[in-house]
Amino acid sequence: MSFFSVTKSYSTITSTLDTACKSVGSTCNPLMASLAVQLRQDENCAADYRREQPLVVAAYNGLIAYEPLYKAGCARDPDEGKYCFANAITNISSPTDSYPYYLPLGIPLPGGSQPSCTDCLRGTMKIFNEAASNGNQQPLLDTFPAAAQMINVACGPGFANQTVPNAGQNSGTSLGINPRLGALAVFISSVAVVLV
């Protein structure tokens, strides 16, 4: 089954997340960080990274965003116990619900996006705020503050904590890529746990 088919079916994406979330995310964090460092070494892809080659930047962003993506991808709705990401990615009545999940990959929240103001969105934004506040060259340093501001306009002041130390000082790059490609990166990051 293709990735795009998986994201269109609530039961299939839930089954995939069940498998990915059974493993301990912290086990893969050091591996992903190590791969990110290796990617930017001169003998590997440093030249392409410096030239901001989109695939290399996307790969790097996916590796360093693994931890917040894993946490957000495995987070559950506190009321229903369903995966927040599965709810967001399959919500055809509010397609922008999935857009915040692309922030850790350096993909800004598109203007006019109005994700549903749910406990899931609040929890996801909290996870991303914590990751951005911890730094580590997270693309979230570039994408989170503006997204939090947009969400606070729609959901009310203080819905998402906009305060991020060192915001805008990421040495990485924000990407302007199709949200479906971003969803693919979120999915790959979630499933990587199963493969390692």
- DSSP secondary structure letter of residue 76: B
Q: How confident is the model at residue 29 (pLDDT cuts 50, 70, 90)?
A: confident
pLDDT, mean of residues 118-125: 96
CA 84 – CA 124 distance, rounded (Å): 8
Say how many C-beta atoms besides its own lie within 10 A of residue 30's C-beta.
Answer: 9
In the prediction, which pLDDT does 129 show?
Answer: 93
In the prediction, which pLDDT does 167 show?
Answer: 56
pTM: 0.81
- DSSP secondary structure letter of residue 176: -
**For 148-178, what is each residue's pLDDT tens digit?**
999 999 999 999 998 887 655 554 554 444 4
In the prediction, which pLDDT does 3 show?
Answer: 62
- DSSP secondary structure letter of residue 82: -
Q: Quick one: the chain helix, strand, coil %, rounded to 5?
A: 65, 0, 35
Mean pLDDT across the chain? 83
C-alpha distances (whole Å) from 102 to each of 68, 78, 128, 180, 183 are 11, 22, 10, 9, 7
Is 90 strand, coil or helix? coil
Q: How confident is the model at residue 147 (pLDDT cuts 50, 70, 90)?
A: very high
pLDDT, mean of residues 89-105: 92
Could you give the angle at the alpha carbon of 145 between the alpha carbons of 139 and 149, nearest 5°?
A: 145
